[in-house]
Amino acid sequence: MSDGQIVVSGLTKHYKNVRAVDNLSFTVEPGRVTGFLGPNGAGKTTTLRMLLNLVKPTAGTATIGGQRYADLSDPLHTVGAVLEASSAHKGRTGINHLRVICAAAGFPRSRADEALAMVGLSPAAKRKFKGYSLGMRQRLGIAAAMLGDPKVLVLDEPANGLDPEGIRWMRDLLKSLASQGRTVLVSSHLLSEMQLLADDLVIIAAGKLVRQGTVDQVMDSMAHSAEVRVRTPQVEELTSALVALNATVTPNGEGGLLVAGVDAPSVGRAALKAGVELHELTTERPDLERVFLELTAGKAAIR
Ligand SMILES: Nc1ncnc2c1ncn2[C@@H]1O[C@H](COP(=O)(O)OP(=O)(O)OP(=O)(O)O)[C@@H](O)[C@H]1O
């Protein structure tokens, strides 16, 4: 069993009327950034809270390096978490906020300075928390999570409230933490953001697993809904040849057709067999954000 591997197995949380998490199983590997994706209400936060022993599961387990969070001998050095935009005493400076945590957790005071430098907040060390922007608060939250130099980092929607430069900074930081061998689990509801950040993806909807794999594997599995764009002066003949293959054919104007359910080579072969002249034959890459929304659509409502 690898040190920082996260294993979620049959994890379930039922609230009175809601199956927030429903028999969910997946693994998260060290040395990689794993994107935990799902629409609002999919059950991401509830899953992360169960992993961190903040919510008691109805059934199933979530372990880190083979142990439940509650059984970890040294949880503060094992897991760092940022579950919501960091909150701190409003009148306290950034550096003092971290020093208070160091004192309570028994970490050396110098870790506060190191962690603040790591998130690029040293210039604002002596400014009060109430003057911090949302992006600075996110950074301070990450600094606090890194104080114990943990092997595993868990972040719930860390890009929320960040501007494009902040998002790029976050991406570089999380990638470099993973390249040091840490396990980095990051939740988000935006596929586009995770495509750039993550090595692996776990997609859930309505508390259930929808897809898991490397980013390429998941994208390939979603890209099956690719369409073929074709143009011909013999629209009727081609349409009937394609319908005979169970393809869905949608006229696209000026001899154009959008074909779903078969790939481009099949369209070309069908055209050749039917003696149909083709003026264009292209695979349309699907908009993966749209496919992601379709995969998870309507599942986040009442359960
Ligand atoms: N304490 C609670 N009591 C009752 N229902 C809850 C509780 N916590 C969460 N839920 C419900 O469980 C479901 C999953 O919520 P959760 O916050 O885990 O989803 P999420 O994927 O993190 O969503 P978001 O992206 O909006 O944060 C939702 O329907 C939510 O309303």
DSSP annotation of 17 = S
- Residue 40: how many other CB atoms lie within 10 Å: 7
Which pLDDT score, from 0 to 100, does residue 302 have? 43
Q: Note the pLDDT tens digit of each residue in 105-120.
A: 999 999 999 999 999 9
Q: What's the order of all strands across the beta sheet hosting 59-64?
A: 19-28, 6-14, 59-64
- Which ipTM did the prediction report? 0.95
Percent of the chain clearing pLDDT 70 (strictly above): 95
Q: Out of 8, 15, 210, give the residue to mutate to test ligand 1, the one with the largest number of ligand atoms within 8 Å of its CB.
A: 15
Global confidence as pTM: 0.82
Q: Round to whole Å and give the CA distance between 200 and 178.
A: 12
DSSP annotation of 203 = E
- Residue 133: how many other CB atoms lie within 10 Å: 13
- Residue type (1 letter), 131: G
CATH 3.40.50.300 residue window(s) in the chain: 6-222
Q: Is the CB of 190 under 6 A from ligand 1?
A: no
Q: Note the pLDDT tens digit of each residue in 67-125.
A: 999 999 989 899 999 987 557 778 889 999 999 999 999 999 999 999 999 999 999 89
- 40: Cα separation from own chain's centroid: 12
Q: Round to whole Å and give the CA distance between 43 and 192.
A: 20
Which pLDDT score, from 0 to 100, does residue 298 have? 59
- Residue 88: how many other CB atoms lie within 10 Å: 21
Q: Is the CB of 15 under 6 A from ligand 1?
A: yes
Give me the CATH topology for the region 227-284. Answer: Alpha-Beta Plaits (3.30.70)
Q: Could you tell me the pLDDT band of residue 290, with boundaries at 50, 70 and 90?
A: confident
Q: Which SS3 state, helix, strand or coil, does residue 42 take? A: coil
Q: Round to whole Å and give the CA distance between 13 and 257.
A: 47
Q: Whose CA is nearest to atom 11 of ligand 1?
A: 20
Choose the CATH number for 6-222 among 1.25.10.10, 3.40.1190.20, 3.40.50.1820, 3.40.50.300: 3.40.50.300
DSSP annotation of 223 = G
Q: Whose CA is nearest to atom 7 of ligand 1?
A: 15
CATH 3.30.70.980 residue window(s) in the chain: 227-284
Spatial CB neighbours of 173, under 8 Å, sequence gap ≥ 6:
118, 119, 142
- Comparing CA positions, the residue from 8, 1, 50, 54 lying closest to residue 27 is 8
Ligand 1, residue 48: give the atom nearest the CA: 18
Q: Whose CA is nearest to atom 29 of ligand 1?
A: 41
Q: Whose CA is nearest to atom 17 of ligand 1?
A: 45
Q: Round to whole Å and give the CA distance between 260 and 225.
A: 7
Spatial CB neighbours of 40, under 8 Å, sequence gap ≥ 6:
189, 300
Percent of the chain clearing pLDDT 90 (strictly above): 66
